[in-house]
Structure 1
Amino acid sequence: MNVEVTSDVIARLHEESASAHPRECCGILVGEVGQGVDRIEEAIPAANVAADPTRHFEIDPATLLAAHRTARQGGAKVLGYYHSHPVGHPVPSATDCEHSTGDLRVWAIIADGQVAFWRDTGNGFAPITCHMVGQTASNSLNPNA
């Protein structure tokens, strides 16, 4: 399943990553589920409540519960999550892979000036083809990741 993402979401992910640096930013990706394509329409920032936010992320449970509650009430669906790697590349780390659950959610990883999208397969993560919708895509999006 492919993913579409708005240019506003990409800009927001870059902003969140920059403002959190040197800590990891994190949050929730919401939007609509389509036939063969998920459309990410919003990135909801969350506090990183990890014990060491410079090396790990943990999405604030209250923010996560609120997003799921909104989805159950007919709002935007929780499609996945995002976080940054302040040092490194926009690929899942060993720690990210340890937390793979197989829920098929989208993970966006922001690092090195790029945003890459991955699908949680339960055996780690598989790269997702991502298409920018809205404004013209820039080099900030890595469509092959």
Structure 2
Amino acid sequence: YRAMRGGGPMLIGHYHSHPTGVAEPSACDAAAATGEGTLWLIIGSGKARLWRVRQGGAWRECFEPVPLCVTAPCAPGPASP
């Protein structure tokens, strides 16, 4: 945050888990949601869901769901000699 305020790279998002909950923003997440357009990746109940902060959004009036496509990891490169 300090670097961003000083003109450095912009923060694009956050991630966290809800170990005993669902992959949806909680009331606490909504209270902390700042930065219009910021992305939140939330993991819970074996799922990962992506959300964007948006005033008046469909979820808790401050988030909207964002499609998330996860693909298999890249194939490992050749071994070093």
TM-score bin, normalised by smaller chain: 0.5 to 0.7
The structure that is helix-richer by fraction is 1
CA-atom RMSD in angstroms:
2.6
Unmatched runs of 5 consecutive residues or more in structure 2: 56-60, 75-81
The structure that is strand-richer by fraction is 1
Task: Tell me if 1:82 matches 2:20.
Answer: no
Q: State the structure with bigger RCO (CA 8 A, min sep 6), 1 or 2.
A: 1
Q: Which ranges of 4 or more aligned residues in structure 1 deviate by more than 4 Å? A: none
Are the structure 2 counterparts of residues 121 and 102 from structure 1 closer, same or farther at C-alpha, using a change threshold of 3 Å? farther
Instruction: For 1:112 and 1:81, locate their aligned partners in 2 and report how far apart those are by CA, in whole Å.
Output: 18
Partner of 2:62: 124
Equivalent pairs, count: 68
Unmatched runs of 5 consecutive residues or more in structure 1: 1-63, 137-145
Contact 1:102/1:120 (<8 A) preserved: yes
Give the structure with higher Rg (CA): 2
Q: TM-score, normalised by structure 2?
A: 0.65
